[in-house]
Amino acid sequence: MKVLLLGSGGREHALAWKLNQSKELTKLFIAPGNAGTDELGYNIDINPNNFDDVKKLVLEEGIEMVIVGPEEPLVRGIKDYFLNDPDIASVSVIGPSKEGAKLEGSKEFAKDFMKRHKIPTAAYFSVNERNLEKGIDFLKTMQAPYVLKADGLAAGKGVLIIDSFENAVQELKNMIGGKFGAASKTVVIEEFLSGIELSVFVLTDGHGYLVLPEAKDYKRIGDGDTGLNTGGMGAVSPVSFANKDFMDKVEKRIIRPTIDGLNKDDILFKGFIFLGLIKVGNDPYVIEYNVRMGDPETEVVLPRVKNDILELFRAVAAGELKKHTIDIDSQYVTTVMMVSGGYPGDYEKGKVIKGLNRVKGSIAFHAGTKIDGGKIVSNGGRVLAVSSYGATKDDALEASYRNIDLIEFDDKYFRTDIGFDL
Ligand code: AMP
Ligand code: GLY
């Protein structure tokens, strides 16, 4: 099967790596890809949000399946674009419809969905310029800290957690006034939940589903979980507190009602559901839905999936996922992100990366790299995700850190405490 994978991060390198192990793959294209995916297929320099360019490539190359890595093309409706065009309607697109992608693209939509289908989540109230006073009344019923979320996509920056009531009211006004542009014209105010977070991934054809390995992501830039939020500085799988009892609750209270809810609401969803969960006491609550895999979670989740991933994607497209079971490697996998100095603030790109050929016992997934004049150089804040297997979490981490020491680029930075139990 000829496959096109959209995206350019560590998630996409991990997907490309996994697709390359499939006996069904005949040719892989990645758009736009990075220096890592370049070794596994054909990088094509087109923007995944430019659907006309994607269509052109699909027709020129006879591509049979499109796998969508990031959320933006999904939220913009790439699935519907394909379905509505007779030239490409028969091409399988792994990812939800535009309506399904609202689970990530609109916090208000996601909260209303959870409320309607009785899925445990924080209490909330949705505010815009017309009901601001009511929003402030709701804030008064909450206790500090106050959680304010921009309704729309805001490059991962749209969630504010604020200690004082006065600041919360001010920020609420700022957000509705356009602090995050159109994304925060509507704001969801949420009850603050206190607990430990984890990510659970589901692959679904809209009816059947498989629960992939869970993962824990380390989001802050600094050791000890301090400093600014990032896209993720490392991840581990499995997660110590996600025992059978807890995961059974996740399946019964969250996963099944989510799939049933999509059906009741007549929403087409053939793709990944990424549940951002928080464990409060012993109970799971949904913090957020995403409609794609996580990054860097993919770099620990996919190495633990033993199935042929393309076989699973084909079953998703055909609506036959119920015929399959998931086969998970019991080993630990950890990943540690190497980032550009300064990230998540300003940083420089174009630093030559040396030592990748010395990596042994780990997989260096490229997150932000490109080839420049025959050399591999950094091309983003997050540069490489170094993933390793181990019989224990410590064994896996030891391998990731040993290999990180072998890879050099100017101003490289990484957290030294990935894997610690929060
Ligand atoms: P989100 O973009 O919705 O995942 O939110 C970003 C981060 O904010 C989450 O990973 C949590 O750490 C935190 N957060 C979001 N909502 C809540 C909440 N209701 N209670 C506590 N923390 C939250
Ligand atoms: N690592 C979090 C995310 O992919 O959204």
DSSP calls for 126-155: EE-GGGHHHHHHHHHHS-SSEEEEESS--T
Residue 232: what pLDDT?
95
What sign has the CA pseudo-torsion 46, 311, 258, 333?
A: negative
CA nearest 111: which of 186, 209, 180, 55? 186
> From residue 421, how far is each of 196, 280, 282 by CA, in Å?
9, 16, 16
Pocket test for ligand 2, best of 103, 157, 199 (most atoms within 8 A of CB): 199
For the beta sheet containing 271-280, the strands, ordered from the edge strand earlier in sequence to the opposite edge, are 209-211, 196-204, 271-280, 283-290
- Give the per-residue pLDDT at 230: 92
**CA–CA distance, 301 with 198 (Å, rounded to integer):** 13
Q: Which helix (H) or strand (E) holds 273?
A: strand 271-280
User: What DSSP character marks residue 267?
Assistant: -
Nearest ligand (C-alpha, residue 382) = 2
Structure tokens at 171: 């920020």
Copy the structure tokens of residue 148: 């304010």
Q: Which atom of ligand 2 is nearest to the CA of 293?
A: 4
- Do residues 333 and 300 make contact, with C-beta atoms less than 8 angstroms apart? yes
What integer pLDDT is reported at residue 155 of this predicted model? 79
| CA separation, residue 237 to residues 135, 301, 335 (Å) | 39, 7, 9
**pTM for this entry:** 0.96
Instruction: Count Cα neighbours of 337 within 13 Å in the Cβ-side half-sphere.
Output: 34
> Which amino acid belongs to residue 212?
L
Domains of the chain and CATH, by start? 2-95 (3.40.50.20), 125-190 (3.30.1490.20)
Residue 97: which H helix or E strand, with range?
Answer: none
Predicted confidence pLDDT, tens digits, the chain (422 residues):
999 999 999 999 999 999 999 999 999 999 999 999 999 999 999 999 999 999 999 999 999 999 999 999 999 999 999 999 999 999 999 999 999 999 999 999 999 999 999 999 999 999 999 999 999 999 999 999 999 999 998 877 889 999 999 999 999 999 999 899 899 999 999 999 999 999 999 999 999 999 999 999 999 999 999 999 899 999 999 999 999 999 999 999 999 999 999 999 999 999 999 999 999 999 999 999 999 999 999 999 999 999 999 999 999 999 999 999 999 999 999 999 999 999 999 999 999 999 999 999 999 999 999 999 999 999 999 999 999 999 999 999 999 999 999 999 999 999 999 999 76
| Rounded Cα distance, 340 and 181, in Å | 28
Q: Return d(Cα 212, Cα 305) in angstroms, integer.
A: 7
User: Which ligand 1 atom is at minimum distance from the Cα of 149?
Assistant: 3
Start-to-end Cα distance in the chain: 43
pLDDT value for 322 = 97
How many Å apart are CA 316 and CA 314, to the nearest integer? 5
Ligand closest to 142 (CA) is 1
**b vs e for 181-210, b when ≥16 Cβ sit within 10 Å of the residue's Cβ?**
eebbbbbbbbbebebebbbbbbbbbbebbb
Q: Token digits for 50? A: 């430019």
Residue of minimum CA distance from atom 9 in ligand 1: 287
Q: Ligand 2 within 6 A of 217 CB?
A: yes
In whole angstroms, what separates CA 319 from the centre of its chain? 23
353 burial (CB, 10 Å; 0-12 / 13-18 / 19+) is buried
Residues framing ligand 1 (Cβ under 6 A)? 122, 147, 149, 159, 190-193, 197, 276, 287-288
The verdict on the CB of residue 7 being under 6 Å from ligand 2 is no
Per-residue model confidence (pLDDT) at position 422: 61
* Ligand 1: centre distance to CA 8 (Å): 26
